[in-house]
Amino acid sequence: MSEARRFENIIVRKEDKIGWIVLNRPHRLNAMTIELLNELSAALDEFEADGDVRCIIITGAGERAFSVGADVTSFSSLTPITAVEASSKGQEVISKIEKISKPVIAAINGYALGGGLELALACDFRIASETSQLGQPEIKLGIIPGWGGTQRLPRIVGLAKAKELIMLGDRIVADEALRIGLVHKVVQIDKFEEEVKAFARKLAEGPPVALKCAKYALNLSTQTSLETGLRVEAEAFGMVMASKDVIEGITAFFEKRKPEFKGE
């Protein structure tokens, strides 16, 4: 991928082992169309295959929004059948974020509503600017979340809070999102990019094989029995032991220096 390859609905760039995906429809507060979803999917595939990219940041263009969700202008033409397809398509692309082997950060720089929040829920980390507002407002339009909100939100904030957010549809501010565990961190707007980059850099300098296995086992923990999860953890632990990064990690520890992981 070129350093600043241009898509039409997203901006994709690489910088210091970090892959950036900027949702780029600021005139519509980065509302997502099918074209945007397709581009997001392609960018994720390219970053997954690119050994130089160790961590991915997804954020929104402009000052106001991460993303306000699905572009509702297309909703009036949906039939029950095409609505199922649209929901499945969004779920598929958003699930790709969860399945990708590298850590993904949602840098929430404003509204994260509806599908915008659902996209952020599939990321491994959510960092919000202090002025961000988050929510699942679909119920106010007479619909329900369709890109994973009813499933991922309760896994992150618990069933009671998820019911409140989805069935009332009210937006919450960043500090409240932090209090309920919906975001990992809230950052002042003037320090936002710097703090997001510092967080990403820590992940990008980590051991890629171990991070991949940790992400896989952690995500599985919400979907499987303890017994199966523990078995998977033991096997992943064994796999990680075969990596050169372990040798580097342990050698660096005894040499009292910072390890340089290669992802091998």
Which residue intervals of 75-114 are DSSP H helices? 80-99
For 27-44, b where at least 16 C-beta lie within 10 A, e where not — what string? eebbbbbbebbebbbebb
User: Whose Cβ is closer to ligand COA: residue 111's or residue 261's?
Assistant: 111
**Which member of 8, 35, 39, 138 is catalytic?**
138
Pairing verdict, β 133-135 and 172-173: antiparallel
Cβ contacts of 40 within 8 Å, gap of 6 or more: 10, 21, 23, 32, 93
Please choose, out of 80-88, 110-118, 191-199, 246-254, the segment that lies near ligand COA by the rule CB under 6 A.
Answer: 110-118
User: Whose Cβ is closer to ligand COA: residue 83's or residue 239's?
Assistant: 83
Among 7, 26, 28, 216, binds ligand COA (CB under 6 A): 28
**Which member of 48, 118, 205, 235 is catalytic?**
118
| Burial grade of 214 (CB within 10 A; 0-12, 13-18, 19 or more) | middle
| Burial grade of 139 (CB within 10 A; 0-12, 13-18, 19 or more) | middle
To the query of whether residue 39 is one of the catalytic residues in this protein, the response is no
User: Whose Cβ is closer to ligand COA: residue 23's or residue 29's?
Assistant: 29
Report if residue 29 touches ligand COA, rule: CB under 6 A.
Answer: yes
User: Quick one: residue 30, left, alpha or beta (phi over 0 = left, psi -120 to 50 = alpha)?
Assistant: left
Report if residue 31 touches ligand COA, rule: CB under 6 A.
Answer: yes
Report if residue 137 touches ligand COA, rule: CB under 6 A.
Answer: yes
Measured from each CB, the residue nearest to ligand COA is: 114
User: Whose Cβ is closer to ligand COA: residue 70's or residue 240's?
Assistant: 70
Stretch 46-85: interaction string toward ligand COA, x if CB under 6 A: ----------------------xxxxxx------------
> Smallest gap, in angstroms, from Cβ of residue 58 to ligand COA?
17
To the query of whether residue 118 is one of the catalytic residues in this protein, the response is yes
Contact 69, 116 (CB under 8 A): yes
- DSSP assignment of 160-187 equals HHHHHHHHH---EEHHHHHHTTS-SEEE
Report if residue 157 touches ligand COA, rule: CB under 6 A.
Answer: no
Binding site for ligand COA (CB under 6 A): 28-29, 31, 68-73, 111, 113-114, 137-138, 141
Catalytic center residues: 118, 138
